[in-house]
Amino acid sequence: MEQNLSPEKIRKLAKALDDAIENRKTKEVMSYFAETCEIELVGVKLTGKEGLRKAIRWIFRYLKEITLSPITIMIEGNTFFEEFSVRTKIKEDKEIQVKQAEVLVYDDEYKVKSLRLYFDRLELAAAYTSNPIEKMMIDRLSKASLKGLL
């Protein structure tokens, strides 16, 4: 059971983690996570430091330069919630900006034991591709997913 963790310390650690990601410091990023951490992104669940290493390699493979800008931050107990904007360069130095959200759960030693990262894959795909046929397909999928809502 988690003790009462300091919201200020959690906020500082989350910011330091973001800075390490922006600076592509894999070892430092990994130092913020517990040995038995769980990571969930794009419907894939990874566990432990090896799973974390895979996630980091995957992110760094597709995103060249990364700037993370907080939009909304909430901390309750040992859980950090953040909505943020990601500005990055991808293939052929194309710059894109997308919104994401994350949930970090900390253990008693202020290590991340769980990370869940959420983003709209259609938004990212639309920003990523320059192929007109792919753009048309993504646009159709996006419109179809909103049918009945608009």
My answer on whether 42 and 105 are in the same domain is yes
My answer on whether 137 and 107 are in the same domain is no
Look up residue 29 and give its amino acid. Answer: V
pLDDT grade for 3, boundaries at 50, 70 and 90 = low
My answer on whether 106 and 148 are in the same domain is no
Q: Residue 150's domain spans which residues?
A: 121-150
Q: What mean pLDDT is reported for the chain? A: 90
Identify whether 89 is part of a domain.
Answer: yes
Q: For the segment 81-106, what is each residue's pLDDT rounded down to a tens digit?
A: 999 999 988 767 788 888 899 999 99
Total tally of structural domains belonging to the chain = 2
CATH code (residue 80):
3.10.450.50
Identify whether 2 is part of a domain.
Answer: no
Q: For the segment 24-43, what is each residue's pLDDT rounded down to a tens digit?
A: 999 999 999 999 999 999 88
Q: State residue 1's pLDDT score.
A: 47
My answer on whether 100 and 43 are in the same domain is yes
The whole-model pTM stands at 0.84
My answer on whether 101 and 136 are in the same domain is no
My answer on whether 14 and 36 are in the same domain is yes
Strand-strand pairing, 33-41 and 112-119? parallel
